[in-house]
Every structure is written in C-alpha cells, then in structure tokens.
Amino acid sequence: MPSIDRRALMTGIGAGTALLTSSADAADAGSLRVSDLRTAGLRDPLAVGDARPMLAWRITGPDTTMQAAFQIRVAGDRARLIAGDADLWDSGRVVDTTSTGVRYAGRPLGPRQRCWWQVRVWDATGAVSSWSAPASWGMALADGDWRGEWLAVESADERDDRLVPPRWSRTDLPDDKGPARFRLRFASDAGDGPFTIDTRSRLVGLSLDGRPVAVPVWHKDAYGPPPAARFVLPLTKGEHVLIAEVAPRRDGDTVSATLAAQLRSPHAGGGARRIVEGWEAATPYGAWRPAALDARQDHFAWPPTPARLLRRRFDLAAVPRTARLHIAALGGYRILINGRRVGDDELQSEPAEYRRRIPCRTYDVAGLLRTGENVVAVMVGDGFYASYQAPDGRYAYGPAPRRFRLMIEDGAGTPFVLGDDRWRHHEAPITLSEIYAGEDHDRRRWPAGWNAPGFDDRGWDAAWPAPPPPATPSPPLGPPIRVSRTIRPAAIRRIGANAHIVDFGQNFAGRVRLSVRGNRGDTVVVTHAEILDRDGALDRRNLRVARAQDRYTLAGGGTEVLEPVFTFQGFRYAQVDGIADLPPDQVTGLVVSSDLDEIGTFTVAQPLVQKLWLNTLWSQRSNFRGNPTDCPQRDERLGWTGDAQVFWDTAAFNMDVGGFTRSFTRMLRDDQAANGAYPMWSPSPRGLGWGSDTATPGWADAGVMLPYVACLHTGDRSVVDDNWAAMAAYCDGILGMNPDGLWRHGRGADLGDWLALDARWPGDETTPKPLIASAMLARSLDQMATMAAWIGRADTRHWQAKAARTRAAFAQAFVAADGAVGNGSHTGYILALRLRLVPDVLRARAGQRLAREVDRRGRLLTTGFLGTPLGLDALADAGHDRLAFDLLLRTDYPSWGYMARQAATTIWERWNGDTGDVSMNSFNHYALGAVCSFLYRRIGGVEPVEPGFRRFRVAPLFDPRFASAGVSLDSASGRIETAWRRTGGQVTLDLAVPANTLAQVVLPGIDRTCRPGRHRLVVRA
C-alpha cells in the first residue's frame, strides 16, 4: 500500500453524523503481492542460531485483501530456487492466514548452510500472487565449528602480571570508625616499581617509607566502589615499607577490610619480582600481625591498559566467491581487511552475560579480499567486558585478558585465517578506552599502513593464546549497534582563546567527531555534559564519577579526524579545548544506537504533546544500544528491568523491537536465579541486584511483560517460545512463596512506586508495597494466560485459573466495599483500575474516587515509575477522559509539559529534574515517557488486539483542545494510518487498513469492523 499524503488526511469533508465510506480508488488497487521477507525477524541475516527459524512477510493488494493460504519454498541455491527446485522445503499450499511468523519445517539445516526462500499467497477469492523476490539466510556456526585459538590482547608485562595474580588479604575490625592499616615490608633494587592495588571498599591512604603517596579521590555518590589503582613507586636499593589504609566495610554484624595488590619490584639484572602476598595488618593495639588470606579469592580486576593493534598476513591464489568472517570477543573490537573497514557496526562485542554466552558476528568479506597478499587487522579495547560496570567494577564478568577469536572461511567452510601464532600485535595509540571514562588517543603513535599489506611488522610481538572462556559464542538475535544519524551543531560559543562550547540542540547518546588542524603534540579535549549551569559552563554534577571525556594528542601535518572508537557518552553540550577556531562544519554529533527500524510516528496539533512524543523517541534512541539502559551519561548505564517493563509498549510503537526483545530476554534468562527470579538489571554479573535473592515487583516482571508486548506487536511467537519455561518458573516461584496469590513474601529490593511525588526517599512506601506486588503478579499471570492462548498451549486454562485466583485475592485484600483501594494513593487506584483488579460493580466508584483524589491534589499525579505509565488510561477507562487530557496538557510541576517548558529535548528521570537530587538525576531517561503508548492508542487511535496487528482497534478519544492527531505505523502486517481532524462540531477520521488485517472502529455512534483499504468516517464529537 503506498504511503498516504498526510496533508490530504488533514483535510475535512462535509457534514455528517455517523457516516462510513470506503472508496476503491483511494486504496491500493494493484495486484496481490508479497514483500519484505524476514527470517528470524531480520532481513537476509548471515548467521541465524534458530534451528527452525520463523519466516514472515507482508502482503499488499486490492481492497479487502485477506490471505487465505500460503506456500513457502526454500532451496540451498538461489538459481535452484528461481527454477522451482525447492530442495530444502516446499510447504505446499497451506490454508492459513498467518503472515507474521511461520516456522521453517523443511529438512534439518546444518551449520553455515545458506538458504534461499520465496513465498506466494492466495486471497479469499482464490487469486494467487506471484512468487516474491528471493530472500536468504545463513545458519550460524555450531560450537564445534570454530577453529583456531582464542588470542590474548595484552602486552607481555600485562600477561606476566596476570600470571601472578594478587591474593586477597583480610583483617577484621572492632568497628567501622576508622580505616584498617596494612603493611608490606620488602627489599628491592633501584628503579620504578609499578604497584597495583584493589579493595572491596576504598583505598584512603598510601605511604612508602613514611612518605605519603597521593591516592585517587572517589565521588561520595558514585554507584559502586573505586576500581583498582596503579601507582609507579620510585624505589631505591634496599628495604622498604609500604602502608595502605583501607576503609572498613560492614557486612551484617561483621566489619572488615580487604585488599589485593601486586608490586612489580625491579631487579638490577633486568626483569622484576612480583610480590602478591606477605601483607600484615595492624591490631587495635598498634601491633602488626600477618593478614589472613580471605576465603573469597575473586579474580583481580586490573585497571585500564591501552588498546592493542593486531594484524595477520595471508595470501590468496584467487579470491573466493564467498568468504565469511566470524568473530567473538571479550572486549571491544573493530576489524579491517586491506585497510578497509569490515562492517559498519559499533561497540562490538555488545553487552552480554559473558560467562554464559559471548556475542559473535558474521560478516561477508569477499568484496574486501584480493589476489596475493592480504591483511586482516583488529583493534581491541576494553569494551563492555573489561570496562567498569557499576556497581560491580571492571572485569565484572570474568578475568583478564581481553581476548578474541576470529576465523575467515570460504563458501565450503574451509578456514584460511584463524587464531594462531601468525598474528602480530602492538600497543595502540588509544591509551585508554573505557565506556564511562571515554578515550585517550596519542595520534603521533599511529603506525602508517598497519592495517594494509606491505607494512613491516617485524618489530611487533607474536600473539599468544588466551585461556578459553567458559561460555561459547552465540549468534545475534537483533540488529547491531550503528551510527544511526548525525547531528550538526545548533550553536558554538567561544569561552576562551582555545575553548568552545558546542550546543547540538538535542540531548542524545553517541560521540563527537571533529575535523581539525594543529601542531604536533597539541592536545584537544572533548568534555561532555547534558546541561549548563547558570553561568553557561558545563554542569556535570549528575555524571558522578563518569569522566565522559575524550582526549587527543595531535600528530600534526594536516587535517585530522578525531573520534572515539570503543565508547559513547550521553550529552547535549560538548566543550572542546585546544582549538583556536571551531567552525560548525568541523563538528558532527554521531548518534549511536541499536539499528532498529523506526516504525511509528505520532502527530498532533498540540505542540506540547508533540514535543512529549519526540522527546520520548529521543530517549529511546539514546538508551536502546545492545540492551535497554536507564541512562546513557552517568556512571550507571544499566539495563534496568523496571524501566524496560513500563516502557516496552511505547517502545514497540516507536520501533521494531522484535529481535531486540529476543536478545534482551536472553540476557534475562542468563541472569535468572534458580528460584525463577529475574534481576533488577541485566546483564547483572552478581546476582539479582542490591543483595536481593528474590524477585523485585515491577522490575522482575519484565521477564513476562517484554515477551508479551513483543509478540503482540510483531506476531512472532518465537519470543514466547524462547521464554516460556523461564516465565513459568518466575511466576511459579512467586506463587510457591505466596500460595494465596497475594505477593507478600519474597519481594526482593521492594522498590514500590519508585520516585513517587510524595516519597521522602526514592523507594518510600507511598502505596502499600504488597498491593503493588500483587497487582504486578496478577498482570503477569494474565499475560501468561493470554500468551498461552496465542500459541495454542494446552495449559491455557491452568494459567487463567491462576490469574483469576490472584485477581480475586487482590480485590478481597485491597478493595473496600465502597470502591476505596489500598491507602487511597493515586497509584493504588490506577493499578487496580487499569489492570482490572476492581470488581465490575465497584469500578465506577473506584474511578470516581481516583478522579476526586487527582482533583484534590491540584489536578496532578503523585505517581512514580509504576503508576505513571497507566494513569491516563485508568482515568479514560473510568470515563474521565477530560481529566486525563488536563494532565497531559499540564505545564506546572509535576508534569510532562513542565519538562518541555524547561526546554527539555529528552525525558527526565524525575519530575523535578531541574531541581532534584544531582546524585541521581538523569536528563535522558525514558521511563516517564511510557505515557506515549497512550498517545498512540487513545489519541492516535491504534491499538493491537491480536498478535501482529492481525486485528487492531481504532478508538481515539476526542478533546476540544486537540484539533487533529494521527498515527502512521509500519506494523508487522503493513502500514496502518489514522488521521483525524476536528472541524466545528464534527470529526473526520481517515483510516488505512493494511491487507490481511481487520480494524475494529469505535467512535461516537459507530462500532464496526473495517476491512483492508482506505476509509473515511465522520462523526459529531
């Protein structure tokens, strides 16, 4: 169906009361066609891990087109497929209306196998389409198909340090009033002595031979302890005493201090002696005694070291027709062949629970190869594996070293490059590459031509193997991270002779690219911030300990392009120091996010509400990057599950999140506890979060919510099949502790309605927490029952009964006979009403009570993370749409309009982001933007009823303050468009219904089903 001219849709027609018209000449009157073929939710993927992937397509055709049957054919060769020889699978004519996910049911497929496929469909009249254009997919490698070694990415000194790991020493303390003192006595020859130390609390003092050594200062609000610190101690020949003071740490009734350290003591004859034991601890009485070795000997999390360059030469007598490069890595990487970049993805290897699976990627590299000498080159930095991840520190998922495994093979599966001793490596000019910190580049040290043939690498070291990690490589389930768009500066302001502040006019996540000229040795520094202070300087207080800065030393001699490789930041403003002049054409903002199709657009003739939608979209762009993070700027950037579950419906309207959901829920399963509980964030290297050992209501529910929403929007049952056992274990785990259906026991961190307006602290109990938990459980059980019905499970009634029991228990415990709910909080009413936990006979009373409470508080919401997303729906469901629109249009604090009025370009974490606690105050946090689901469904008027929008509801609410609104949605089944406009006392709605779908239209005086085509409806409203 061709796109609809939105200007035409905004044009009113003549008067009418409840008139419905449908016009064939306004619809796609072309022939029946099939297009947009996808395998496992992706277009022509090279490496699919599903043994029987889902196949999907879209249909276009004349008005009323409905698919009645389909035929799929799959072949191992494109020419064979076109010739009609489906040697892998021919489904034959299958009477089925499904187009959003049909599972491959042909011959078993082996690793690396390439498959080509087509589909044709029949409509209800018996007409048949032509065969679609061919699409393809490749099967991923099996675990046993990888060849070659894992290669270590480290210097010789780093390797030798790693092979003599520090041992954790401990001393118990009588109280936590002062630091513990540790002493190391040693002899050394003269020279520099690198000393690396880590603690489980904080290093507060260090002295060598009685002389103090400055230690790093750690921010009091940092989300996690400081990482290991490295010092270079100037040692003379002789005896030395090193004293470390370590802050105490309380664990229940026990107070202790721990440290682990390595001193590389120089040796006059060369080399070094590595000292990792022998610490003494001071007693309360001033004596010294040997410090005990701690029972918990964690791997040592080494501080940052430079990235490294690796290269391997290989010769080809002829270029193979097909060549695939496979790579898995623990660390960040970028690949080049013969000086040209492989792929355009960024921030690989993406976030994962690396102890359970290691992301791998496959690339088609035949076009980069040549006859004769070739070179494959890889830059490797810290990436997500080695960088500090709050609150757990560096190397949170496993020990050093950074490492990778790479293999290039031809079409027959014969490798001609793999991990072996023919690789050479050298320190990279990228001397720091951490996610939170940013990058440091010394461009003077770039070896010219290092990634191309002809480079002399005889001075480089031969690579050595790394210990194989415990996990195996896993192929991707969603699109990679890429630079999704670029932004030009809105303004550049000079603040000094060589200093400028760049305003991009938009808060976003990504990088700054500069094109500069300067002298050799000049330093250019790019510092990031979301906001400015009152004096116009960068205000970076909310970043806590995230350095968020890129530093470059110029090589000189011409124009240099400065851009980080292994990191990203969240910012609107960038201060650039070290450049005299900075014209706008030398600065570009690069938006870095997962490359998800943006499928939804909401438009409205209300600038405030339009801004709310756009700000929310930008917060999603800024935080959907490998996993859905809470924020992109401070020392956190975690995949918080509570934020995700409240936002996922909005996310699925804005973007195609099918593969992204499968990927993130795989992380959730990897982090799932034995009792079924999902974590508070994912990936989560140390349990469920905050020391909890049970599920946290409103957060852990993401394990059920995300598959439910993804299946509803995409129509692909894979995400339900993937997660069914895990979801069932989660629900049964809660019910096992709470057999009456009320979630009173085992509530994890029990955050409640986080950041509610009246809260004295973020998790204050402004709404009874058992009420919130039980409502979350009831919703999860309802969703389980619904998903079971969608995929035809035999236990559907079993889940329906569980859901009914919890709903009844909720009503008995929390709903009074007069319709009062809980303690009368807004969130209590909202959850009970929207989740249909109030008995039908009391719904009107409860709705009236909610409306009165909102009115009593000054027509504002007092809700937090869990109540806010459902608030407007709850009011509209109860017949108080006018009040819902009042809240939507409110501009005083607290409100969405308040953010827009303060010139926000993204959604804030807090209602009072401009005045709130700077220690937890993100200006790019999508959770409160979850209300945009209401905009799509209740104002634009598009809501899925059956998976894949096979059936959807069109029931926009009209308010006289809104002149027009509409939605354009490239749904899994095709383009849906609504556009309504108010003219006088009537509203005209134009609707486009895609082929193979049905729209249930509910307007004043109208309740009917519209078939595929274009429709115009006129009502008085």
**Residues with catalytic function:** 636, 909
The DSSP secondary structure of 970-987, one letter per residue, reads: EETTEEEEEEEEEETTEE
Q: What is the Cα–Cα distance from 714 to 768, expressed in whole angstroms?
A: 35
Residue by residue, DSSP assigns 631-689 as -SSSS----BHHHHHHHHHHHHHHB--HHHHHHHHHHHHHH--TTSPPPSBSS-SSTTS
Burial 346-366 (b: 16+ CB within 10 A, else e): bbbbbbbbbebbbbbbbbebb
- Specify the 3-state DSSP secondary structure of 478: coil
Token duo for residue 515: 């094109």
Q: Is 687 left (phi over 0), alpha (psi -120 to 50) or beta?
A: left
Handedness of CA 1002, 1007, 1009, 1010 (dihedral sign): negative
Q: In the block, which residue shows the tokens 């300067």?
A: 518
Q: Are 670 and 729 in contact (CB under 8 A)?
A: no
| Residue 791 backbone zone (phi > 0: left; psi -120 to 50: alpha; other: beta) | alpha
**Residues whose CB falls within 8 Å of the CB of residue 663, separated by 6 or more in sequence, listed in order:** 476, 477, 478, 626, 627
Q: Helix 702-714 to helix 769-790 angle, to the nearest 10 degrees?
A: 40
Beta bridge partners of 487: 589
CA distance 669 to 692: 17
CB atoms within 10 A of CB 521: 12
Answer whether 962's CB lies under 8 Å from 605's CB. yes
Q: What residues contact residue 14 under an 8 Å CB cut-off, 6+ apart?
A: 1018
CB-based burial label for 66 (10 Å; 0-12, 13-18, 19+): middle
Closest CA to 352 of 484, 224, 473: 473
> Two tokens at 503?
């305003």
The angle formed by the CA atoms of residues 351, 357 and 359, to the nearest 5 degrees, is 50
* Segment holding 871, helix H or strand E: helix 868-877
Please name the helix (run of DSSP H) or strand (run of DSSP E) that holds residue 587, with its range, or none: strand 587-594
**Greatest distance between any 2 Cα atoms in the chain:** 100
- Rounded to a whole number, what is the distance in angstroms from the first to the last CA of the chain? 30
Q: SS3 of 72, please?
A: strand
